[in-house]
Amino acid sequence: MNTDQIVRTFLEYFEERGHRRITGSTLLPPPGDPVLFTTSGMHPLTPYLEGRPHPLGRRLVNVQRCLRTTDLEEVGDNTHLTVFEMLGTWSLGDYEGPLSLDWGYGLLTEGFGVDPGLLHVTVFGGDDQTGPDTASLELWQERGVPVELTVEDNWWSNGPTGPCGPDSEIFLWTGDTPPESTPTGDERWVEVWNHVMMRHRRLVDGSLVPLPQRNVDTGLGLERLACLLQGRRSVFECDVFDPWRRIVPALWHLDNPSLRLVCDHLRSAVVVIGDGVRPANTGRGYVLRRLVRRVLTVLRRDDPSRGLEDLPSELIQHTLDHFRQDGDPDLVRKVLLEEERRFGRLLERGRQVLARPRFRGPLTEEDFHYLHDTHGLPRDLVLGLRSR
Ligand code: SER
């Protein structure tokens, strides 16, 4: 199944079960929202999880682009991307967790053809504030799926306060041997689908109060699911990355970790620019700036003549199309190239400043502060220049 077929199968399965499709939002949460980017499918739905009636009813399904910088250091492993799409379903005070889990099990095994013997789940085991999630446990036991009980790993929240709840995560075995151990004991168990029983609100003092309604919020990462269903080892090998795998290695000779980082960050930068963000020294613009500069640092490490001028528009267009963005690819390219030029000027200044006798020896914390505050040279960049 290619990703388009996966999305269609997912949407139809839930539409047949009374869910209405909502249009995904952009990566930018509404003004006043404390987070910089939409990090999960539930984020734009927060008011409805908190009780406001949704115009399309109590059962919803969608595809939402998300950006997670908390996982930035994990980018390049087999399962994490900075920007990804999340398939999501919601029961807004309608059906309960076990039905959601049962549908999830049905779609995975019958709709997507996953061998039930390769599944393992985790369930919230209870803590001093909330009891164990026995309803989920019983459902899985009836289906004959092995269960691991955990505490912190099975509690989902979108921040220190706000809607939250116990979750049940479905894992798929990706090893070459028959399944062994449990999800927390062996990394070959890969999480595919999270079902959150979103029925609490955490207050500033850490206490929990019930939400006005008992919701279920589920999310599964599209690229990860595609990789698993397509029998690939990493998200970078699923069909979403076909043009990237065809074009980027021919353009720049990179080792595998660098290739993954370049593809992930460039793709993310395109989507972020497509949603209207421009490079800056703070906020969203700074996240974008970091993404682009990390790409440039990797590209130039082996060959300073490499640059984004070589990036074919086809990749920009493919990415905008995939995320259903109608932005102008030439404008995206222009923003990338401007940022590249700015970075080039900064590097030049950095080289000149670091050539001064004062900076020849080991650098102190005070030096780093001075270089940053007076010359706009971040620590990473200074270290990169000094390692040449
Ligand atoms: N909110 C949960 C998650 O992001 C399920 O959608 O994993």
Tell me which residue has its CA closest to atom 3 in ligand 1: 219
Pocket test for ligand 1, best of 22, 42, 68, 101 (most atoms within 8 A of CB): 42
Bridge partners of 222, per DSSP, are none
Whole-prediction pTM value? 0.90
Q: How many CB atoms lie within 10 A of CB 321?
A: 11
Q: 144 CB contacts (<8 Å, ≥6 apart)?
A: 116
Looking at residue 283, its amino acid is G
Statement: residue 224 has pLDDT above 80: yes
Q: 229 CB contacts (<8 Å, ≥6 apart)?
A: 1, 6, 112, 113, 114
Average pLDDT over residues 53-68: 96
Distance 217 CA to ligand 1 centre (A): 7
Statement: residue 342 has pLDDT above 80: yes
Q: What's the token pair of residue 105?
A: 């099990």
Cβ atoms 45, 90 nearer than 8 A:
yes
Q: 220 CB contacts (<8 Å, ≥6 apart)?
A: 86, 87, 88, 192, 193, 194
Q: What are phi and psi of 171, to 5 degrees?
A: -115, 150
- Lowest average pLDDT, out of 56-60, 129-133, 289-293, 383-387, goes to 383-387
Distance 78 CA to ligand 1 centre (A): 19
Count of residues in the chain: 388
3-state DSSP helix/strand/coil % of the chain, to nearest 5: 45, 15, 35
Q: What is the pLDDT of residues 147-190, one digit of tens each?
A: 999 999 999 998 889 999 999 999 999 999 999 999 999 999 99
Cβ atoms 351, 388 nearer than 8 A:
no
DSSP state of 40: S
Tell me which residue has its CA closest to atom 4 in ligand 1: 40
Statement: residue 73 has pLDDT above 70: no
Q: What is the pLDDT of residues 202-216, one digit of tens each?
A: 999 999 999 999 999
Distance 169 CA to ligand 1 centre (A): 10
Pocket test for ligand 1, best of 38, 40, 87, 220 (most atoms within 8 A of CB): 40
Return mean pLDDT, the chain.
94
What are the start-end ranges of the H helices in the chain? 3-16, 46-49, 97-106, 134-143, 222-229, 242-251, 256-274, 283-302, 313-322, 329-354, 365-375, 379-386
Distance 1 CA to ligand 1 centre (A): 23
Give the pocket of ligand 1 (CB within 6 Å). Answer: 40-42, 88, 156, 194, 196, 217-219
Distance 127 CA to ligand 1 centre (A): 21
Per-residue burial over 290-313, b if 16 or more Cβ lie within 10 Å, else e, is bbbbbbbebbbeeeeebbbeebee
Q: What is the pLDDT of residues 82-127, one digit of tens each?
A: 999 999 999 999 999 999 999 999 999 999 999 999 999 999 999 9
Distance 41 CA to ligand 1 centre (A): 7
- Which residue, 219, 222, 170, 176, is CA-closest to 191? 170
Q: Rounded to the nearest 10 degrees, how much is the dihedral formed by the CA atoms of 204, 208, 211, 212?
A: -100
Statement: residue 197 has pLDDT above 90: yes
Angstrom distance (rounded) from CA 374 to CA 368:
10
